[in-house]
């Protein structure tokens, strides 16, 4: 999937922050989950081109995947594409009026 994301070479960028709402299907009940995703990319050598990155994130709406696996997939994709010093992902999922938060750093 990462081959669809274009990148832009950058210099002296300390941090890139992305905040978005994405959807995915829960493997347990096949309901649509809405995930508030916050991404911080620290000192990247490259940044994702926004249009292709949005398309990548929207593609998860058709996937059946656990939230943790969703984050690891995005984390690994960004790590290989951007070559950052550090990445932090935070996902907040509202599932049946229960807010579930996962942080990968």
Domains of the chain (ranges; CATH) run 2-104 (3.30.1130.10)
Question: What is the reported pTM?
Answer: 0.88
Q: What pLDDT does residue 68 have?
A: 86
Residue-wise pLDDT for 83-101, tens only, equals: 999 999 999 987 777 777 7
**Mean pLDDT confidence for 21-30:** 92
Strand order in the sheet with 98-104: 15-25, 32-42, 86-95, 98-104
List helix spans (H) across the chain.
50-58, 67-82
């Amino acid at each position: 999937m990462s081959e669809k994301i274009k990148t832009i070479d950058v210099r002296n960028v300390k941090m890139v922050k992305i905040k978005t709402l994405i959807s995915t299907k829960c493997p347990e009940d096949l309901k649509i989950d809405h995930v508030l995703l916050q991404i911080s990319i620290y000192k990247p050598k490259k940044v994702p081109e926004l249009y292709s990155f949005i398309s990548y994130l929207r593609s998860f709406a058709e996937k059946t995947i656990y939230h943790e696996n969703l984050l690891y997939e995005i984390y690994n994709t960004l790590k290989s594409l951007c070559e950052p010093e550090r990445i932090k992902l935070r996902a907040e999922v509202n599932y049946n009026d229960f807010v579930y938060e996962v942080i990968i750093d």
